Each structure stands twice: as C-alpha cells, then as structure tokens.
C-alpha cells in the first residue's frame, strides 16, 4: 500500500468518529423515498468566520445592510438573522447564517458519496468508527468526508452528485443525496419563505452547457425545504464577500472543483461574468491519468499539502504543471473577453483580483498566479492579486451578504 493510502487509513482511524457512533439506520433509498433520509443525521463541520464589512446594492436586493465581523463562536440560543447563504460547489457545500451579535456561522460538507458492499464486516467497521450510512440496493452508501477518506483507503473514486459545476447527469442518486445534504446544512427556515441566496455558475464559455436545469433543481430543493431561493452568480458572490473595501469593484474568481467562475464588477454591478469547465477536478483527473492513480488520491495528495513553488517529486510536479496551465487558461480568457466586450466600463483606478474557492488553497497558488499574470499584457491595471480571507467560505459569505441585504 502506498504512502498516501497509509496516511488516509491512519487519519480515518484517528478521526473517523466525526458522527454519532452506533447509529446504523437502514432505509430504502431512491428519488421517491428521499424523504426517508430526513431522519439520518450526517453532521457537517461547523465554524465561524468574519462577514463582509458592508453589504452591496445589487439588482435583486433593494436595500443594503451591514454585516459586522466577530471571531467568537455562536452562542447557544443566540438569535439568528433572517437570510441564508449557500455555496453549491462541486466539491463542497457550504451554508452560512448570522447571529444577533454579528457572528457568521458556517457549515461545510463534502459533496460526495461512496457505495460499499453490504456485508457484516464492513457494517461493523463503519459502526465502530461512528460512520453513518444508508442502504441502497443492498449496498451501503456513505456521504461527505467519511466517503472521501474511505475512497482514499480503498484507492477508489468517490461518486459525485455534481459534475463540471452542475448537477451530474450520470448520477441517478444525485437528487436525493443533495436533498439530504441540504437538509443537514440548512435545516428548516426560521419562517416560511426565508430568503436563501445560492450560488450558480455563469454560462460556461468552453462547453455546450447551460445553467437553467441546474439552477431550477436547486431552487426546487430549497423551495421544498421552505426557503425562498434566489440564485447568485458565483464570481459575483466573491465580489460581495471580498471587495467591500474597494467599493465592490474588481475581479472575483471562484476557483472551484468543477469550474472557475469569473466576475468583473464595477461598483457591485457585473460587467463581465463567465465560467470555464476546468477546475480542481480537471487537475485531479489529469494528474491521475498521467500517474496511474485514482482522482480521489490525486485530490487527497493536494489537500495533504504541497507547495506549487517548490514541488517535490514526480507527483507534485504533475500537480504544479496542471495548476499552472489552468491559471494561464483562465487569465487568457479574461483578457480575450475583456478586450472583445463593447460594454466594458472604464475603470478609473487599478483594481484587485481576488481568488477564492478550495482549488485556490494549495500552497503557492497566488505566487504562480502572479507569474502567469506577468507573462501577458492584461488590459486592465491591477493593483494586487490576493487570496480571499476565507477561500473555502467566500462564496457562501457573499450569498449571505445578499440575503441579509434583502431581509433587512
């Protein structure tokens, strides 16, 4: 067994009891039986983070609100402001809300699952480790982080409800899995029709895809939970969460698992939005192909920690090569679309480029981005290229800003 499988196995054994041990509730599974999953509790990771310094007036938000920052945990029983934010990511789902003291409460869950043979040994192992599952056609299904860790142990790929930034057409179980994860992350609304802004990709420029079905599916799932769903383009959400000090002017890039989403905004108004179907999954797939490993292992290798400016060994060099190619591809497309647009506003001052999303969290990302940026003649004067304050939570926080603005 390779080094990473050993690492994954030890990590899983050390941290496996992330959920309540001893619950081995078996339920039928399928689109029509999805409601049966409501009782299965798959806890998500909780954290707190800072909210944007102020909210922005946007097309769908008639009023502005101010969200204050705090770093202390949300107090038990603290009132929660109306309005939710939801990052619908290929790799992770992230929800956010704000309590009465200004703390932002975030929950994150890996958007993946794995099916395992249903036998007594595996059943007992999962129960001992405190990993919950449901039974699907005589196979056990594990979701979230435990699914990812098990995939690395067995050198398998997880199954993904989403592909290339949208609901996967190849997964018949995608809808009930997403419904279950959304119920875990959001829970019931505080009042019927509570606003929930959720992220959607911009129209991709390198694939014959549209976001209409994907947007409708998640809008329907949220409406079924009792929320009033409102879509927000992913790159635009990064602008809301990260560019308050720049009067919401600049370039927000959400570097996700399925897509890179780009938004060029002037005073909160999107001047250019597009996506590409290259993201973290594209890197994982290509690294896995050239190294002869699973995509889950390639992803785990990145998350274990590497530095793009100093790759060690053949595996890390492969990751660096594909990261550099993806960044160059993104910058090339921003430049071409900026230069070809007849409606682009004139920016009087240099702007910031802010990168968010899980794919941007690898070591040396900003340095490699800067190197590739310096190779092209960018059509806009840029004052800085930086990483979002909380890259993994940035999109959800931007959606929350929009929700709080409308709910104020």
CA 161 to chain centre: 13
pLDDT in tens, 341-372: 877 888 999 999 999 999 999 999 999 999 99
Pick 341 or 248 by higher pLDDT. 248
CA 78 to chain centre: 27
Compute the distance between CA of residue 46 and CA of residue 52 in angstroms, rounded to an integer: 19
pLDDT in tens, 141-163: 887 778 877 777 777 777 777 87
Considering only 64-68, 92-96, 215-219, 295-299, which range has the smallest mean pLDDT? 64-68
Residue 144: which of 172, 103, 185 has the closest Cα? 185
Question: Are 384 and 346 contacting, i.e. CB atoms less than 8 angstroms apart?
Answer: no
Name all domains of the chain by residue range, CATH numbers in brackets. 42-111+160-407 (3.30.420.40)
Compute the distance between CA of residue 396 and CA of residue 195 in angstroms, rounded to an integer: 14
Which string of DSSP letters, residue by residue, matches 187-220?
-S-SSTTEEEEEEEPPPBSSSS--SHHHHHHHHH
Residue 389: which of 280, 243, 189, 289 has the closest Cα? 243
208 Cβ contact partners less than 8 Å away, ≥ 6 residues apart: none
Q: Name the pTM for this structure.
A: 0.76
Helices (H), ranges, 104-173: 120-128, 145-153
Compute the distance between CA of residue 317 and CA of residue 325 in angstroms, rounded to an integer: 12
Compute the distance between CA of residue 175 and CA of residue 41 in angstroms, rounded to an integer: 17
Compute the distance between CA of residue 328 and CA of residue 312 in angstroms, rounded to an integer: 22
CB atoms under 10 Å from CB of 157, counted, come to 18
- Asked whether residue 297 carries a pLDDT value surpassing 80, the answer given is yes
Considering only 4-18, 97-111, 235-249, which range has the smallest mean pLDDT? 4-18
Q: Which residue has the tokens 């703390």?
A: 103
């Amino acid at each position: 067994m390779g080094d990473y499988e050993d690492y994954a196995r030890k990590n899983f054994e050390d941290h496996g009891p992330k959920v309540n041990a001893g619950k081995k509730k078996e339920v039928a599974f399928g689109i029509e039986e999805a409601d049966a999953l409501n009782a299965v509790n798959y806890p998500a990771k909780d954290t707190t983070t800072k909210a944007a310094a102020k909210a922005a007036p946007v097309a769908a938000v008639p009023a502005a609100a101010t969200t204050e920052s705090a770093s202390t945990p949300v107090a038990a029983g603290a009132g929660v402001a109306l309005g939710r934010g939801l990052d619908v990511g290929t790799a992770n789902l992230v929800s956010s809300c704000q309590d009465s003291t200004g703390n932002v409460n975030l929950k994150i869950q890996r958007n993946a699952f794995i099916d395992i043979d249903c036998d007594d040994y595996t059943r007992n192992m999962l129960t001992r480790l405190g990993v919950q599952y449901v039974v699907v056609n005589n196979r056990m299904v594990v979701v979230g982080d435990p699914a990812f860790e098990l995939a690395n142990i067995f050198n398998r790929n997880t199954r993904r409800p989403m592909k290339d930034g949208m609901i996967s057409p190849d997964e018949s179980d995608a809808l009930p899995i997403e419904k279950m994860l959304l119920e875990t992350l959001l829970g019931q609304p505080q009042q019927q029709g509570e606003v929930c802004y959720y992220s959607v990709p911009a129209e991709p420029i390198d694939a014959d895809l549209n976001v209409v079905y994907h947007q409708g599916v998640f809008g329907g799932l949220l409406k079924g939970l009792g929320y009033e769903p409102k879509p927000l383009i992913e790159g635009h959400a990064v602008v809301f969460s990260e560019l308050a000090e720049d009067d919401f002017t600049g370039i927000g890039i959400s570097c996700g698992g399925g897509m890179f989403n780009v938004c060029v905004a002037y005073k909160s108004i999107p001047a250019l939005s597009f996506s590409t179907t290259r993201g973290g999954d594209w890197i994982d797939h290509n690294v896995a192909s050239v190294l002869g490993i699973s995509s889950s292992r390639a992803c785990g290798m990145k998350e274990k920690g590497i530095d793009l400016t100093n790759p060690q060994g053949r595996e890390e060099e492969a990751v660096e090569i594909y990261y550099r190619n993806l960044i160059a591809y993104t910058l090339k497309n921003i430049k071409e679309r900026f230069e070809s647009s007849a409606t682009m506003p004139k920016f009087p001052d240099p702007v910031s480029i802010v990168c968010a999303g899980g794919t941007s969290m690898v070591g040396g990302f900003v340095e490699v981005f800067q190197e590739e940026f310096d190779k092209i003649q960018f059509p806009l004067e840029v004052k800085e290229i930086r990483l979002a304050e909380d890259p993994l939570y940035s999109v959800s926080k931007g959606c929350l800003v929009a929700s709080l603005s409308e709910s104020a």
